[in-house]
Structure 1
Amino acid sequence: MIDDKKRQPAAKKASSVQITAAYEGEDLGVTLGENLCVFKVWSPAAVQMQVLLYPPLTGESSDEHSEQMKQQVMPMQSNEQGVWILDLAGEWRGYRYMFRPTFANGTSTTAVDPYARAVTMNGEMGVIVDMEQTHPEAWHEDQRPELHHATDAVLYELHVRDFSIHPSSGIVNKGKYLAFTETGLRDEAGHTLGIDHLAELGITHVHLMPVFDFATVDEASVNDHMHDASNYNWGYDPLHYNVPEGSYASRADEPETRIREFKSMIAALHRKGIGVIMDVVYNHTFDTAGSSFEKLVPGYYYRQHADGTYSNGSGTGNEVATERAMVRKFIIDSVRFWAEQYHVDGFRFDLMGLMDITTMKQLASELHTRVSPSILLYGEPWGALESPLADEMILKGTQRGAGFAVFNDNFRGVIKGDSDGDGKGFATGEEGKAADLWTGVQGSIHDFAEAPAETINYVTVHDNLNLWDKVARTQGLQEVLGFLQYNEDGSLKGCSSVEEAVRKANPYLQVDPHDVLGNETVRRCLLANGIVLTSQGIPLIAAGDELLRSKYGDMNSHQSGDMVNAIHWEQKQRFKPVFDYYRGLIQLRREHPAFRLRTREAIEQYVCLLHQEEGLLAYELQGAAVEDIWQRIVVIYNAAMRARLIPIPSGVWNVAVEDGRVDAHSLRTVQDRQNGYYGENGKIKVKGLSMTILYSV
């Protein structure tokens, strides 16, 4: 779902160009050779094309600045398949460049290279860069973390700035890529912080919200201190797809710095055994008429209605025509570039419903055969508004056997209810959800998925209320806890600023610091993500869930600034039992293959329903059949407030998870005729609002 800015009407009119042949080469943009620089740009409608060259910026005096703005104009030659080419002898690294197309009607414009690998501050010009010169130390030794199968992954969605900007992070490079390179950080109680926290938590992949160059943050005025919402964004407003965002670099005015520091972040995470997923937004661009796509090939890169107006399936003013040959090529080239040059381990596609199924299938095939079979691909199987793509849209079910996964909003809704309102689900107290929950627990193979690797299981991500705030809302606590409230015109109720509203809020008012796990909101949150982490499929949790992160009831914090979005690391000490629970469940999942089966057949054979009633689901995993060291595993979800006696198979059982605690060895042992726990009636007592996991060996 796109929340990067208010929905915009579609652009009024688009001229179109008929394309008879697509370019098949893999060298669009700038290619450097020995004492040679080759420029190639695709613009079949142009009758003339020029390269505009400018000397490198040095940040010196105004006199030197005027020298740096001197322009050299180089004519390009028309080549086959609509490509223009210029071979330029000499050393041009660091020079800035633009393309100037001229069309048959005499109009001319300037455009940044869509294939640019480096740009100046705020993306105003392309920069010639030698990628080999941007490597951090030991980059050639960098290795992708091993991932044998997609269902082995545990994903963690995170915004770069949110990760480190709060003073309690202890991080020096606040809000930057380099924050991920800082190790050995601990709070006053000795708890790990930063990247060490991620490693301790046990996740396999960090899913980074957009880190390509986006438009709405001014890179010239970003600081490393918490500030208001004036210069903050999630990044779903693409500017340059093949360049790292500059506001997360220590020097946005040094084109190579952002590249080197991005690679340093990747390498640091890889050293911790953590892969990196990029959130990519190929479904729309920030601008339409002003985009490089439209300037170079008017009317080609965007979908249009029959009357020539731009379609607006993204809700942000345009939608990219992924089904057209050169658009498809650009997307595949771009994704491969990040996977090969930056060692990125996977991609999450924003509003993937607006991408045609042929493009995604071809992209998956190329990445898995030409780069690495372990690369994860997944996205949102919906659009924001109606699209002319229609039957070619990627919706739940179209991903079957295609090599990528989709977000499972069916399961999400069953677990928590609606996204922003009072609506409830299984974990938040709604009755009649156990049967649908069972469908999701089985990897949705009887819903829309051919295999469990095709479903991304989650309850919340960056969009909408986060988990703590959603659960609190279902309990009617938003006013008691002081959540942000807005008037119809968007202004805050009762406060003059977000900062004031946050200071007044008290999201944890009802949590007893001496009995954190006894709080109802806490228990419902743990049950919700407990279901996610124990179900078949690929689990994803939102950053800070393990710290009971709150956004003070903000349903759409894309521009709400650090006060709302920053992760408060002091909450690790405050809510340590919650962190321990998440860490324990992730460890349990990673150590036991029964929780991450790979095929429909295995799920149908070895995941068996034991008991189902209002607010309760119990099932068995046959571990021995899938080479798990646990022979039999029983999982019980109790969403009722009261404790219940649940029938389980006869035998000796070790309790690994119970009442908000996890011990992969055993919390205790129960067996037949042990009254009070597992009596002669063959039942075990399960606490209210909790998950219980038992195993036999």
Structure 2
Amino acid sequence: MNSNYINAESAVELYEDKDLGLTYTPGSSVFKVWAPAAFAVSLVLYETGGNNLPETGSGIKDNGKIVQMQRQVTGVWQATVHDDVKGKYYMYRAVFSDGTIREAVDPYAVAVSANGTRTAIVDLRDTDPLHWNSDISPRLAHPADAVIYELHVRDFSSDSSSGMQYKGLFKAFTETGLTDADGNTLGIDHLVELGITHVHLLPVFDYQTVDELKQDGPSAAAPHFTDYNWGYDPQNYNVPEGSYSTNPSDPAARILELKELVQALHSHGIAVIMDVVYNHTFSVEKGPFDGLAPDYFYRRDVYGQLSNGSGVGNEVATELPMVRKYIKDSLAYWATEYHIDGFRFDLMGLMDRVTMREIAEELRLEINPELLLYGEPWTGGDSPLPDKTLKGAQRGKGYAVFNDNFRSAIKGDSDGWGKGFATGEYGKEGEVASGIQGAIYDFADSPVETVNYTTAHDNLNLWDKILTVQGLRENAALPELENGRLKNGGSVEAAVALADPYVTVDKGDVLKNETVRRSLLANGIVLTSQGIPFLHAGDELLRSKYGDHNSYRSSDAINGIRWGNKQVFKPVFQYYKGLIALRRSHPAFRLHGREEIERCLEILRCDSGIVSYILKNHAGGDSWRNIVVIFNANPGAVTLSLPNVAERWNVVADHSAAGQDAFRLIEGSEVEIEGLSMMVLYDVYGEPAPRSKTVEVHYERPDGDYRGWNLWVWDTGIQDGQCDFRALEDGRAVARIEVMPEVESIGYILRLNDWEEKDGEGDRFIDCPPGEDVIRVLILEREQGNGGATVEHLQLMT
């Protein structure tokens, strides 16, 4: 630490206005930056982006116009320029008390020159695609309805088999009507055909480790960048990554093209989730914060050293007021400017619980009530943060966490020989059953607090993991890789060309192969369990990364999706497509709450390589009366008894196919299920009762500040516990509570956060008359002359 250090233990007054950074208009522009420890700050306007210019001894590359900034309250410095500065670049130059001079990019930059060298000045309205104002996010009625598909922008189109012109770029998502020689859809049309609801993009903000000016084989349409990375090394948090743009040297191009990507997916009914990394930066010295607020943004241990819970040398101190503000401002910017529909938080364990709670509450209340939020409930190492966001911290807080308990139970360890239920280990049945139930007896209060998955970008992908467990890596001639290179040297591309990850698969009878069956069983469990299913891109094509367990900087030869697999493994794709369609068309697989699961889902068997369960009595308002799901992880066929609730059962999924329509009939009380397979059966189709009715609570406070306020509800029959206000209407906060149709009354308490305050005394109740689909209630808080307040509960007529 140095003399410019901002003591994180001292009180830092929060600057609450949402105007840090540049506010541009053609007539004048206002620049604001938070630099509380600076002795003086100047705005430096440049004509160029600063690339390919020699540095002077001070590290400043060329002369710019200097505008002195004035210090405002709470450490904010401000300058106004009464000219049209669009097309120029700027930096902030701070002088500290020890004489140190630092020049830095604006931490709130929304546009930069190539490689983030300087902040660029753009008119954001110039970066809107045609009809951007009419772009509408796909509806997400409930988080349980989501089917997430995790995808890296470059992997999507980089392989020659993609048929896309804009290989590796944002614009590849705008290419439609592409097919292979056999007529199979490719690209965005493939995603639509598969049936997923959300594309989760690995980081698309500006990151450090790809040189945006270093290309091999450039072309006007699709420059090919030499370097590759997943992007978990933030540089400019509010700027798109330039290497995914057709022209990284044009600051506006990357903004326009990312918006075009979002618009294209939205137009096809697919929402967009952004992977965000607010827990660490690439480094402190080259990070976006230390130049103007030295040492403030980073967490330290008891010895004053940078803590390293991320494993990369630093942690962002999310618990500090101006750090928390920065994160919330950044998320709000992406959700509004780019119409992003959800966020996945990297190493969420390093983010404090208050920050995560406020993110969920404020983003939904102020921007989009249907935002989908989830993250990794772990750290990458030890951290001094006392209130880590680990599994269990999400209970009732409006966001979900990855269920690594379920993941490990299904497949075993992530990179080695360790087995799980689908890969040959007995004794995992109970853990699998717990995951099927939405983890409500594990760490979750609600099924939509768990994201269910087998693999993601980290570690071995599903196909390579199963090959490893089976001892087939040598048969497949998978190369030995480390940090993107062959351990013994040589060409990765040549090694990949010699490998055959599918050496044991009979292409004429794909679904009989053991590795294929184990992979379908693993993700079949995910797609028919309660909670939010998550797929790694290419699983439906039996994607291999050639045994690379950490491909974050490997080449396209390792990471690119090989679209030719779609025709070769067409039955596998059809199976995934059928399971997704089954899930999306039947609410029994998408139950909304703990009470609903406890009433409707019963585990039938859970031993000896078998897990089976029944969804009963039109679960979730389903048109099928009873649904039985069976998973057989034994190598051979097993005969099982069926529940004594029907004499005939319709099969919609087994070892041969999956979908919404029955393709065979089982009569009698028993069924044989083949080895390493799943089966889904239903008894009769009928007219179910309405799934639920809605209690709509409108809450009015005189101060209009609804932050932290929520309802604690009970006797709903679907999901009791915390219920957040998710929208603002006519100055009032609105919460919507699902209740069973037969419920006549529910209880509630109005509270602040986790019982910090209660608004009103005692329990209150809301009548739910029979036959009413929506019951509206108004809660009014009125100020009294002595500074106190009274709370009135007024039930409204529908």
* TM-score, normalization by structure 1: 0.94
Aligned with 2:316 (options 308, 317, 320)? 320
State which of 550, 554, 558 in structure 2 corresponds to 1:560.
554
> CA offsets, 1:629-680, max 9 Å, x none?
11110000000010010110242111000114013111111222xxxxxxxx
Selected match of 2:138 from 128, 133, 145? 145
CA distance in structure 2 between the partners assigned to 1:58 and 1:355 by the alignment: 34
Change (3 A) 1:660 1:334: farther
Contact preservation (8 Å) 2:3, 2:98:
no
2:676 aligns to what? 689
**1:467-506 matched pairs, under 5 angstroms:** 467-486=462-481, 492-493=486-487, 496-506=490-500
Alpha-carbon separation, structure 1, partners of 2:225 and 2:439: 39
Secondary structure (helix, strand or coil) at the match of 1:353 reads helix
Q: Which has the higher helix share?
A: 1
User: Which residue of 2 is the match for residue 532 of structure 1?
Assistant: 526
Aligned residue in 1 for 2:344: 348
Asked if the contact 1:229–1:559 (Cα under 8 Å) also holds between the matched residues in 2, the reply is: no
From 28, 47, 66, the counterpart of 1:36: 28
Give the equivalent residue in structure 1 for 2:286: 290
CA distance in 2, matches of 1:13, 1:261: 43
Say yes or no: does 1:572 pair with 2:563: no
Q: Is the 2:225–2:243 Cα contact (8 Å) retained in structure 1?
A: no
Q: How does 1:14-29 map to 2 (within 5 A)?
A: 15-17=5-7, 18-29=10-21
Amino acid at match of 2:390: L
Show the counterpart of 2:387.
Answer: 392
Equivalent residue, structure 2, for 1:127: 120
Deviations 1:107-160 (A, max 9, x none): 111010000000000000001122111101110010000000001000000000
Per-residue deviation, 1:610: 1.4
CA distance in 2, matches of 1:104, 1:165: 50
CA–CA distance in 1 between the matches of 2:348 and 2:17? 26
Q: CA deviation at 1:69?
A: 4.8
For the residues of structure 2 that align with 1:233 and 1:388, how far apart are their CA atoms?
Answer: 29
Match of 2:614 in 1: 620
Distance 1:107 1:61, change over 3 A: closer
Counterparts in 2 of 1:302-451, with a 5 A limit?
302-389=298-385, 391-451=386-446
Aligned counterparts of 2:367 and 2:661: Cα–Cα separation in 1: 39
Q: Distance in 2 between matches of 1:421 and 1:189?
A: 37
Alpha-carbon distance between aligned partners in 2 of 1:426 and 1:694, rounded to the nearest angstrom:
21
C-alpha separation in 2, matches of 1:548 and 1:513: 12
**Does the 8 Å contact 1:163/1:567 carry over to 2?**
yes
Counterpart residue type for residue 54 of structure 1: Y
Structure 2 CA distance for aligned equivalents of residues 27 and 223 of structure 1: 40
1:232 counterpart SS class: coil
Measured at CA, do residues 607 and 516 of structure 1 come closer, stay the same or move farther in structure 2, by a change above 3 Å?
Answer: same
Question: How far apart are residue 407 of structure 1 and its match?
Answer: 0.5
Partners of 1:134 and 1:256 within 8 A in 2: yes
Structure richer in strand, relative to its length: 2
Kindly indicate whether the alpha-carbon contact (under 8 Å) linking 1:161 and 1:174 is maintained by their aligned counterparts in 2.
yes
Structure 1: tracts of 5 or more residues without a match: 1-10, 63-67, 673-681
Q: How do 1:98-137 residues align onto structure 2 when only pairs under 5 Å count? A: 98-137=91-130
Tell me how far 1:597 sits from its aligned partner. Answer: 0.4
| The one of 193, 198, 201 aligned to 1:200 | 193
Which has the higher mean CA deviation after the structures are superposed, 12-21 or 542-551?
A: 12-21
C-alpha separation between the residues in 2 aligned to 1:177 and 1:47? 42
Structure 1 SS opposite 2:101: coil
Q: Report if the CA contact (8 A) 1:122-1:220 is conserved.
A: yes
Task: Answer with 612-621 or 339-348: which moved more.
Answer: 612-621
Would you say how many aligned residue pairs link Structure 1 and Structure 2?
671
1:154 has 2:147 as partner: yes
Task: Tell me the CA shift for residue 229 of structure 1.
Answer: 9.8
Asked if the contact 1:228/1:562 (under 8 Å) is kept, the reply is no
Q: Aligned partners of 1:421, 1:171: CA distance in 2, in Å?
A: 35
Q: Say whether residues 1:212 and 2:208 are aligned partners.
A: no
8 Å contact from structure 1 (residues 13, 308) kept in 2: no
CA distance in 1 between partners of 2:164 and 2:210 (Å): 22
The 2-side partners of 1:441 and 1:24 are apart by: 43
Output the CA distance in 1 between the equivalents of 2:31 and 2:223: 41
* 2:447–2:531 contact (8 Å) kept in structure 1: yes
Aligned partners of 2:223 and 2:246 also within 8 Å: no
Mapped to 2, the partners of 1:227 and 1:535 lie a distance apart of 42
> Which letter does structure 2 place at the counterpart of 1:302?
Y
Question: SS state of the match for residue 149, structure 2?
Answer: strand
For 1:382, the aligned partner's letter is: W
- C-alpha displacement of 1:90: 1.2
Q: In terms of mean alpha carbon deviation, does 139-148 or 475-484 score higher?
A: 475-484
Q: Alignment RMSD, CA only?
A: 2.1
SS in structure 1 at match of 2:237: strand
- Distance in 2 separating the partners of 1:159 and 1:408: 21
Cα deviation, residue 290, structure 1:
2.9
- Give 3-state SS (helix, strand or coil) of 2:486's partner: coil
How far does the alpha carbon of each residue in 1:248-291 deviate from its partner, in whole angstroms, 9 at most, with x for none? 00000000000000000000000000000000000001120232
- Tell me, yes or no, if the aligned pair for 1:164 and 1:567 is still in contact at 8 Å: yes
Amino acid at match of 1:162: D
Alpha carbons of structure 1 residues 319 and 494: separation in structure 2 relative to 1, 3 Å: closer
Residue pair 1:507, 1:552 contacting (<8 A) in 2 also: yes
The match for 2:536 among 527, 537, 542 is: 542
- Matching residue's letter, 2:681: L
Instruction: Give the CA deviation at 1:394.
Output: 0.6
Distance 1:60 1:483, change over 3 A: closer
Q: CA deviation at 1:554?
A: 0.5
Measure the CA separation in 2 of the matches of 1:477 and 1:290. 43
Query: In structure 1, what is the Cα distance between the partners aligned to 2:341 and 2:217?
Result: 28
Return the offset for 1:12. Answer: 11
1:243 aligned to 2:239?
yes
> In structure 1, how many angstroms separate the alpha carbons of the residues matched to 2:504 and 2:151?
27
**Alignment partners' CA distance in 1, 2:311 and 2:2:** 14
Label 1:542 to 1:101 Cα distance change in 2 as closer, same or farther (>3 A). Answer: same
Alpha-carbon distance in 2 for matches of 1:411, 1:445: 12
1:7 aligns with none
Could you say which structure has the greater relative contact order, defined with CA pairs below 8 angstroms and 6 or more residues apart? 1
- 1:208-246 alpha-carbon deviations (Å, 9 max, x no partner): 000000000011124578999951100000000000000
CA separation in 2, counterparts of 1:55 and 1:492?
44
Residue 502 of structure 2 corresponds to which residue in structure 1?
A: 508
How far off its partner does 1:627 sit?
Answer: 1.4
The reply on whether 1:96 has 2:83 as its aligned counterpart is no
> Deviation digits for residues 161-186 of structure 1, max 9, x if unmatched?
00001111000011000000000000
Q: 1:277 aligns with which of 269, 273, 281?
A: 273
Change (3 A) 1:608 1:113: same
Identity of aligned residues (%): 53
1:17-96 equivalence runs, <5 A: 17=7, 18-56=10-48, 69-96=62-89
How far apart are residue 494 of structure 1 and its match? Answer: 5.6
Which residue in the other structure is 1:639 paired with?
Answer: 633
Mind listing any 5+ residue stretches in structure 2 that lack a counterpart? 55-60, 685-798
In 1, the alpha carbon distance for the partners of 2:485 and 2:217 equals 27
- With normalisation by structure 2, the TM-score equals 0.82
Shift of 1:625: 4.0
User: Using the alignment, how far apart are the partners of 1:269 and 1:490 within structure 2?
Assistant: 31
Q: Once the 2 structures are TM-superposed, how far is the Cα of residue 58 of structure 1 from its aligned partner?
A: 12
